[in-house]
Amino acid sequence: MSNQLKTGLLLGLLTALILIFGQVLGGNGGLVIAFLLAIGMNVGSYWFSDRLVLRMYKASEVSPSEAPKLHEIVDELSQQAGIPKPRVFIIPEKSPNAFATGRNPHHGVVAVTQGILDILSKEELKGVLGHELGHIRNRDILIQTVAATLAGVIMFISTMVRWAAIFGMGGGDDEGGNPIVAIVLSIIAPLAALFIQMAISRSREYLADQAGAKFAGNPDYLAGALEKMDAYSRKIPMRKGDQSTAHMFIVNPFRGKNLANLFSTHPPIQERISRLRAM
């Protein structure tokens, strides 16, 4: 199954969860409120996320004269990808990593840490930047926003259902509903939404890996870069930032040695490397 098809099916699952909850809630009023709140929050995130995350990581935009090699690679890859050249930023962090943001290809941004510039060869850097331009070309920021909106609706409705069940107001129109079933659903549905969101994020990472290998001209470039970044990021984790932005980076910048890895938005590095080597 292609990653594009998988993303569509997963977004469909999120929508189905919302419809099921609508039945449990016994009315459309809660759905409308939830949609309006979730859309409001995520549209704001969609339009302003680039500024917010760049400010969070103290990223500075660099000109071609300040970072000629970096701009040369981005310019070449942009032509390969058939998109406008994104703005280029450097994050003052030793941990090797990179991310892309921007609401569409005409407002694209790529940001790399100083650490990644220190350890990667030109070819490996091409693989990483090709991956990030893949995210921009595939409009992954939009897809992630849609997924976040749907998941946000489910979280909101879960809370409504839980309170309605506790106070005896839940259920369908005909049978009055079972408050225990409603409470169980209100616990299970958000977890399901979270796992679906993670699955969408992982499928987009695989898709960006494929794009990065294509734009850079050799899948070994990105595979080698991932191996280096995986080893270094374990020793030098990101000092600042927030877990909510982890999905934006090419490798998880906040490594944990606990059950939190179960909720990782990134596919296993070795699996990504194996897929690239097999290309």
Amino acid 48: pLDDT: 66
pLDDT one-digit tens code per residue, 151-192: 777 777 777 777 766 666 544 444 445 677 767 777 887 788
Amino acid 175: pLDDT: 45
- Could you tell me how far CA 255 lies from the centroid of its own chain? 16
pLDDT one-digit tens code per residue, 40-58: 666 666 666 667 788 888 9
Amino acid 144: pLDDT: 75
Helix (H, G, I), strand (E, B) or coil at 89: strand
For residue 257, name the pLDDT band (cuts at 50, 70, 90). very low
Least reliable range by pLDDT among 27-36, 110-119, 159-168, 267-276: 27-36
> Residue 239 is which amino acid?
R
66 carries an active-site annotation: no
> Residue 142 is which amino acid?
L
Least reliable range by pLDDT among 31-35, 230-234, 239-243: 31-35
Residue with tokens 């919302």, as numbered in its chain: 18
Q: Per the structure block, which two tokens stand in for 86? A: 């994104």
Amino acid 172: pLDDT: 46
Q: What is the pTM of this model?
A: 0.77
Please pick, among 61, 132, 227, 271, the residue that the annotation labels catalytic: 132
